[in-house]
Structure 1
Amino acid sequence: MKRRNFLISASTAGILAGLASGAGVGYASSSKNRPLALVYRGPAAYPGCSEAVAALLSSAPTGFRIQFCGPDENVQPSADALAAATIYAQPGGGEVKSAWRSLRAYSDDVRDFVNNGGRYLGFCLGAYLAGGNPGFGLLTGVAVESHIRSAKASVRGTDGTVVGVTWRGQRRHMYFQDGAHFRLQGSAPATVLATYDSGAAAAVITACGAGRVGLVGPHPEADLSWYTNGMANPDGIHFDLGHDLIESTIN
């Protein structure tokens, strides 16, 4: 997956400023009564991707507090930090193998967190990393595969583009860059929220032990700044699909 060439929008820039210290105060509300989402930020995610996921979580109906975590943050995705969280979110990034080298040390803690009732959200690269070759090993009966390499994919290149999906029966469009699709095997404990035009699953929610895993191949967190070089979303910029993924994963 190529590096995304997008600008950080004004809203995301505000998030960066507000959380530069790594403080776990949500930008939707500073109330400590709101559930906590740990969002990975570090070498396994591209600049801007972590902040976009954080903005999506903060603006969701549940209104999460946000704590960035990672090797250069004040908090690591460790067992102690995860114990206080409702969600661990893994944003988009580059290649799976290189990302995994930065994440392997946290894998046991993340896997235990989800198996014991936590929620994992994976966006693009974060969806690939939910698998186990390599990855966190959170999936049973769900295979994560490159969509652009599938036989019926409408997109072949790795540059950012817009793809059509059917989300809960409605035609929508989403930012996409070498994202995954999901192949359900047998009676996998999974719900498909969206499909690509090929019919392959574009967003799924599945069980993992006592927890749940929400995965999406395209980018429901993409704001206007992602749409460069004349690219546009014919639906406009909306975040309801990402909010649906989040709320359906936690409930």
Structure 2
Amino acid sequence: MYFKAATSMLMMSLALTPTMINCEPVRALVYRGPTACDGCPESLRDLLVATIPNIKVEFAGPKEKVKINAKSLKGVNILAQPGGPDLDAAWREARPYASDVRTWVANGGRYLGVCLGAFLAGHDSGFGLIPKGDRIQQEITRPNPPIDDGSDIVTQIDWTFQTGRKKGKTERHWAYFQDGTTFIRSSNSPAKVLGKYVSNGDVASVLNSYGKGWVANIGVHPEADQSWYDDAGITNPEGVQTEIGHDIVNALMAAGSVRKATAY
């Protein structure tokens, strides 16, 4: 949930998992429209392209050639929803095709939600793609958050890698944050925790199944390139690092089969 100038820099890719190398060409839709922040769709596209070499990415939205609906989702592997400033506005726009998204994921699609996109995966004002009993909440409303207002900052998260040479290793990294999500899991939630905010231990990223499909959500912006930091006037102590972004995309794709969704 963040405004920025529409600039984006293609990021270097990590070593890919065998699943990524052996799969057939991957198709992705990235939402781009009035409820996304400026430049966020392009940065999310760049992350996908840098992570998966055999991917074809198209933008989809109310002013794009491709709209999000049952027809456009047929044969698509990934639907990626970027950040934006207003959940209510985003849900008003997305609600007419929410059932199509749920059906597509349930039949094998993969949903990637970043910041506002993660809010849209929830049960309230969202697609309902997270486990029953789980909730999504603004991290800034929680005890001891990284910050208690909507300012753009860098914050630390403890990230447990799911793929590649660091699989199973937890590392502390700085990441771009602006009024992002946390995930309140029920006592028996099947959602897998990928990352936690260092400031209070709240969950910053999760991966869960939904029917035959998979859903990955994250409250920070792993797609942020140098232009984001320049525009906000902040500095990442590590420089721009893309490991978290590559890992969440690879984890989403490596979960279960990577065959194209055949929902329709």
Give the TM-score band, short-chain normalised: 0.7 to 0.9
Count of residues paired in the alignment: 230
Alpha carbons 2:5, 2:38 under 8 Å: kept: no
- Partner residue of 1:249? 252
Partner of residue 232 from structure 1, selected from 218, 221, 235: 235
Partner of residue 120 from structure 1, selected from 94, 111, 119: 111
Which is worse superposed, 238-247 or 214-223?
A: 238-247
For the structure 1 residues 7 and 87, does the alpha-carbon distance in structure 2 shift closer, same or farther, using more than 3 Å as the test? closer
Q: CA RMSD in A?
A: 1.6
C-alpha deviation, 1:10, in angstroms: 5.5
Alignment partners' CA distance in 1, 2:8 and 2:91: 28
- Partner residue of 1:217? 219
Report the 3-state secondary structure (helix = DSSP H, G, I; strand = E; otherwise coil) of the residue aligned with 2:141.
Answer: coil
Alpha carbons 1:7, 1:226 under 8 Å: kept: no
Written as runs of structure 1 = structure 2, the 5 A alignment for 1:33-182 is 34-61=25-52, 63-140=54-131, 141-168=133-160, 169-182=170-183
C-alpha deviation, 1:107, in angstroms: 0.7
Alignment partners' CA distance in 1, 2:112 and 2:99: 16
Alpha carbons 1:43, 1:102 under 8 Å: kept: no
C-alpha deviation, 1:61, in angstroms: 3.8
Is 1:192 aligned with 2:184?
no
Gaps of 5+ in 2: 12-23, 161-169, 255-264
Report the 3-state secondary structure (helix = DSSP H, G, I; strand = E; otherwise coil) of the residue aligned with 2:97.
Answer: helix
Give the letter for the 2:63 counterpart. D
Alignment partners' CA distance in 2, 1:69 and 1:41: 6
C-alpha deviation, 1:189, in angstroms: 1.5
Give the letter for the 2:252 counterpart. T
Alpha carbons 1:44, 1:100 under 8 Å: kept: no
Alignment partners' CA distance in 2, 1:9 and 1:86: 23
C-alpha deviation, 1:65, in angstroms: 1.1
- Partner residue of 1:24? none
Gaps of 5+ in 1: 13-32
TM-score (norm 1): 0.87
C-alpha deviation, 1:46, in angstroms: 1.3
Query: For each residue in 1:28-74, what CA deviation from the matched residue of structure 2 results, as whole angstroms up to 9, or x when unmatched?
Result: xxxxx520011111112112001110000011045421011111111
For the structure 1 residues 38 and 9, does the alpha-carbon distance in structure 2 shift closer, same or farther, using more than 3 Å as the test? closer
Alpha carbons 1:165, 1:171 under 8 Å: kept: yes
- Partner residue of 1:4? 3
Report the 3-state secondary structure (helix = DSSP H, G, I; strand = E; otherwise coil) of the residue aligned with 1:227.
Answer: helix
Give the letter for the 1:99 counterpart. A
Percentage of matched positions with identical amino acids: 40
Alignment partners' CA distance in 2, 1:249 and 1:53: 14
Alignment partners' CA distance in 1, 2:35 and 2:217: 17
